[in-house]
Structure 1
Amino acid sequence: MGAPAAAPFPWREVMEFGLGRLGWPPDVFWTASPHEIIAASEAFRTAPAGEAPARGVLDALMRDHPDDSGEAAEA
């Protein structure tokens, strides 16, 4: 008896995730490596759905990653 046949690659599910859930434009999706798509899917699996971060976590993120070009964020 031979080896079992491999399951086909789930293109539909991967495209729905990348193009739909992530909202990646087609050029970004098609140039993403499998590792990048897997990393993005892991982030979705581990992030709590529908929950906002606690205020302290949000403050730390805003301090560590300001939107401006290096100026300190106002408190």
Structure 2
Amino acid sequence: MRSAFRKPLSAAAGGSAQASAAFPWDQAMALGFGLLRLEPRAFWAMTPIELAAAIKPLFPAGGGEPLGRSEFDRMMQQFPDGGPYG
């Protein structure tokens, strides 16, 4: 297929605001460049599925849930203030 017949991607071609808002580019770039420290060539070669697989170990399922009181108390006993960790 000749490149003259290819339709450009809407995000690359400055498509509508709704089309470009469909993918969170700012967040993906922050994760890729900032957290994973990927080089631009490596980041732009990745598919969204590959990026998701790369960051999955950094955000385990359930990692955003707050501690319960008993878990907090257990950690306070294990790591008291003024101990070797702070």
The normalised TM-score by structure 2 is 0.44
Larger Rg: 2
The normalised TM-score by structure 1 is 0.50
